[in-house]
A and B are shown apart, each in its own frame.
Chain A
């Protein structure tokens, strides 16, 4: 199961839980499952950046997630 970690700004959806394990094969599937688990979180997840196994994606969707993957949601980075 993939390890999924939320930043503090998303933990109001998760009742303070910072970390869950999810079985999924793509980022799209992960978002759907998390939205079922924590209703309403999906929109914010889609607006977040995400690191999957160390690689940061600003707009992930079809990216693969494996059974040992580590997924960290984070605020989208902007820049000057």
Chain B
């Protein structure tokens, strides 16, 4: 792997993560590991129908059962103006997907809870389910929600379309008139699971005063606090959330399913309640990503300049509005400098679980369509696919399709790095196909807080509130080491609960190293300012006469004093005499996260007898702005690549005609394992983000965007024809081969 350029002492090094020992020795506590004395076990009753009206629920037998302490339905949630999240957590008048939660019990044991759930009698009026965007958009389609109106539609007619999105620039018809080559295709991608290994789990304990303590695995403890407050209409000051270690989230743990239920069950039972989803519940009742239909038309002149592009896409939202169709629309043409385009998107309700975020939500699906079409253009033009992209690449000053001009971005640098990379220069062997694609994600900043506490021996504790999913504690420690000028090993980072640290938005959107990292750097600068003040007092100088250099307070050049520099450790040791413990704090609403681009290519073979696609090689080039801990940047690139490969080749939610998921386990829903993929080779490109003191860009989401199309383009190269729909699983490849012959 290529080494990132080092300009710093700590940043760019690869030390062991602070939480590493506990993780590899099994001592780390995850969501289901927490227990309390007297704890009850919560279980959920789920709908056996994908679409049905609830005519009545009889809870009497469950309530009378020995060992059952509380039984709830949506009637036990606040009744006025329930949010979509509330109605998703416990259904009201209708169940809207197979597995939709309807009631819950808390009992002394899991078996009693299970028995109580089975004793609940529900009378349903079964309705016809709507199971695809095509079906939802049909003129006579049943309505998932009779009260839904399309946002902005003045006819106010009921619809399964929650919202429409539209972007356009220039004159697309004239643009196509100038095109010498046009590609127009439709691409379909089914829903996929985020693939987090740890199911959702929590313990809730509500005391006599109504104060709730919640321990759970989540990407954002403060968001969980907000959601519980919103769903149960409790004051946020009456809710404390402690995040556990997290066994993967990838967007799937940015929302809640069991936490408000556990809180309400505990409130009624007067005892703590633990709820752990099993794998089947995770598959049936939590949000996967959207299934999509994307139609793309792209034209280019004979020189390879794209003259016009047009896209239409429908994103399944599940049973409630809110698919990521807008970011899908915003990202589809983001890598290109286009003068003429039209983009239309629809947010479509279907009788499936409400979708949740999945790494770069919305972008992999739409960009798979565009990157597949661009690959076909390159073939028509007989042009290297990287060269075609370089001819049309967005760069600093290019107007993004969603409006603003890009600040400094690294797409061109990534494409140039890819073009000369040995893995690209070396051409694939016979019967091996190569595919190229580019990826993009916006990245976000948002709010973060951090505190720095300095022990008398100079050791530093960072307290912050961003759950560590991908090694962020190590990155925080590295940025603190660099800023303070002290060794990495003298710093520890702790993830606080909602009452021991300031507000932090969730770990998602590739924001943590950027935004929480910015808060950590600012908190360190706060400590440095105090160190300089203490040193100035020690030397009878003004604070302005003191500098901070590499972990030492030193008199500023020109200040006439004979004084030995004071080290950070010395200042910490004498802090009691000079004004008390050294602490620093900062809160930020970080702006200017800086978009991230990538280039991926992969070499694949296809077994024409079995239809199995084997990935022989995969290379990812990505702009990280500045890689704080290169191993964890590479880890993000590798993880995203493998998830993208899985989505391209095997992963899909398969529903029967009644809307029942047929592959609700990791045996039948196949994510790649280590033996399925080659080493993912990474090259980090560094085009620093001017909005961060160390140039950081988020890196967590872009890696999943390009692999879908890169893999599809490679398979197209081997087969000689394209399979437009994903996944390119053995049955689909065999069917395509049969059709082709």
Contacts and interface: CB of A to CB of B under 8 A. Distances in A.
Interface string B318-360: 0000001011001000000000000000000000000001111
8 contacts: A7-B165, A7-B402, A8-B166, A8-B167, A51-B403, A74-B330, A79-B357, A80-B252
B392 interface: no
Interface bracket on A: 20 to 34
**B contact face: mostly helix, strand, loop, or mixed:** loop
Contact of A59 (B361, B589, B691): B589
B659 interface: no
Contacts of B357: 78-80
A1 to B, nearest CB: 17
B460 interface: no
Contacts of A5: 403
B251 A56 contact: no
Contact of A78 (B154, B403, B444): B444
A12 B152 CA distance: 6
A8 B151 CA distance: 10
B509 interface: yes
Contact of B508 (A53, A63, A70, A80): A80
Interface of B: 151-152, 154, 163-167, 194, 249-252, 254, 324, 326-327, 330, 357-361, 402-407, 441-447, 508-511, 589, 591-593, 691, 700-701
A57 B591 CA distance: 5
A59 B527 CA distance: 27
Contacts of A63: 591
Given A56-B442, A58-B444, A78 B592 contact: no
A51 B404 contact: yes
A54 B405 contact: yes
**A contact face: mostly helix, strand, loop, or mixed:** loop
B353 to A, nearest CB: 16
A77 B166 contact: no
A34 B442 CA distance: 26
A37 to B, nearest CB: 18
Interface string A61-80: 00100000010101101111
Nearest to B406: A54
B312 to A, nearest CB: 14
Nearest to A13: B152
Contacts, number: 102
Contacts of A57: 591-592
B661 to A, nearest CB: 21
Interface string A4-41: 01011101100000000000000000000000000000
Given A5-B403, A9-B151, A74-B402, 8 more contacts: A70-B404, A70-B405, A77-B444, A78-B324, A80-B249, A80-B250, A80-B360, A80-B509
A72 to B, nearest CB: 3
A79 B591 contact: no
Contact of A54 (B154, B359, B404): B404
Nearest to A60: B591
Contacts of A60: 591
B701 A79 contact: yes
Contacts of B591: 55-58, 60, 63
A5 B324 CA distance: 21
Of B357, B402, B592, the most chain A CB neighbours within 10 A belong to B402
Contacts of B165: 7-9
A75 B326 CA distance: 7
Nearest to A6: B403
B694 to A, nearest CB: 18
Contacts of B510: 79
Contact of A79 (B326, B407, B508): B508
Interface of A: 5, 7-9, 11-12, 51, 53-60, 63, 70, 72, 74-75, 77-80
A63 B194 CA distance: 37
A12 B128 CA distance: 33
A11 B194 CA distance: 34
B493 to A, nearest CB: 22
Contacts of B406: 54
Contacts of A59: 446-447, 589
Contacts of A77: 327, 330, 442-444, 509
A3 B166 CA distance: 20
Nearest to B398: A54
A66 B326 CA distance: 28
A79 B164 contact: no
Contacts of A8: 152, 164-167
A80 B701 contact: yes
Given A78-B444, A80-B194, A80-B254, A72 B404 contact: yes
Contacts of A78: 254, 324, 327, 357, 361, 444, 508-509
Of A58, A60, A75, the most chain B CB neighbours within 10 A belong to A58
Nearest to A50: B404
B85 to A, nearest CB: 14
A74 B163 contact: no
Nearest to B325: A75
A55 B592 contact: yes
Contacts of A56: 404, 442, 591-593
A79 B509 CA distance: 4
A7 B252 CA distance: 28
Nearest to A5: B403
B164 to A, nearest CB: 7
Contacts of B164: 8
A60 B592 CA distance: 11
B553 to A, nearest CB: 34
Nearest to A49: B444
B647 to A, nearest CB: 13
Contacts of A11: 152
Nearest to A51: B404
Contacts of B701: 79-80
Contacts of A9: 151-152, 163, 165, 326
Contacts of B403: 5, 7, 51, 70, 72, 74
A79 B360 contact: yes
Contacts of A54: 404-407
Of A12, A59, A70, A80, the most chain B CB neighbours within 10 A belong to A80
A54 to B, nearest CB: 5
A80 B361 contact: yes
